[in-house]
């Protein structure tokens, strides 16, 4: 029971990290894209 709970906790921990990395990638991509279009416009 304890091992099962621990592995579940680790799983959720990794899922949170993946979600955080995905959000960071999306935000960085949006920022980079908007900056590129802004520099090409001016």
- Among 5-9, 30-34, 37-41, the range with the most confident prediction by mean pLDDT is 30-34
Q: Calculate mean pLDDT across residues 11-18.
A: 91
* Three-state DSSP class for residue 11: helix
Band (21; pLDDT cuts 50, 70, 90) = very high
Dihedral, CA of residue 4, residue 9, residue 14 and residue 19, to nearest 10: 130
Question: How far apart are alpha carbons 32 and 30 in whole angstroms?
Answer: 5
- The more confidently predicted of residues 8 and 2 is 8
pLDDT band at 17 (very low <50, low <70, confident <90, very high): very high
pTM of the model: 0.51
């Amino acid at each position: 029971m304890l091992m099962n709970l621990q592995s579940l906790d680790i799983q959720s921990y990794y899922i949170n990290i993946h979600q955080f990395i995905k959000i960071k990638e999306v935000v960085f991509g949006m920022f980079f894209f908007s900056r590129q279009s802004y520099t090409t416009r001016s």
